[in-house]
Amino acid sequence: MRKTFLITLTIFALTLISCEKFALEESVDTGETSESNGNVTLQITEAEISHFKRITYSIFRNGGKVKNINQQSPSSTFGAATFALTEGDYQAVVIGHNGEGNATISSPEKITFYKNKTTDTFCYYESFHVTEDNLRKDITPHRVTGMFTPAIY
């Protein structure tokens, strides 16, 4: 009995320390405006939105993540995210991709994907300053990886 308990406890402990940790405060798009009282909107240009089916928006301030929103196509708000931010300097990282699961953005320099698989991936980064006025940014993510699919004719 004791041996079974120790094996079960070991498996549980290994599972906890070996898996990728996802931030609990992440929000998932539910089809509503991201934050109804928001003052900063990031809108992906119409031409680029057709290239991917998942988008992760992360907002950083002073080296720490302050907001995170995940969206999946189709959704009425797919391609636009609104955040309620206080006055100050921020960095935005937006990742669009066609993989399974959401991208995890730990910092502007560290991004991981579900099961470490990358497909067509697009990235946008910008530093910006928030004032009392509403801020709307039209953004264009740029391709950073492509998926190679051979076709036999």
Quick one: pLDDT at residue 148? Answer: 60
Q: Is 91 a domain residue?
A: yes
Q: Is 152 a domain residue?
A: no
pLDDT in tens, 34-45: 555 668 888 888
Q: Is 150 a domain residue?
A: no
Return the CATH number at 71: 2.60.40.2100
Q: Is 153 a domain residue?
A: no
Give the whole-angstrom CA distance, residue 128 versus residue 53: 26
- Predicted TM-score (pTM) of the model is 0.69
Q: Is 82 a domain residue?
A: yes
Structural contact between residues 115 and 85, judged by C-beta atoms closer than 8 angstroms: no
Q: Is 111 a domain residue?
A: yes
Q: Is 129 a domain residue?
A: yes
Quick one: pLDDT at residue 31? Answer: 37
Q: What one-letter code names the amino acid at 36?
A: S
pLDDT in tens, 108-134: 888 877 777 667 788 889 999 998 888
The count of structural domains within the chain is 1
Give the whole-angstrom CA distance, residue 106 versus residue 114: 13
Domain range spanning residue 85? 23-145
Nearest Cα residue to 71 out of 107, 45, 47, 103: 103
Quick one: pLDDT at residue 153? Answer: 67
Q: Is 17 a domain residue?
A: no
Structural contact between residues 138 and 41, judged by C-beta atoms closer than 8 angstroms: no
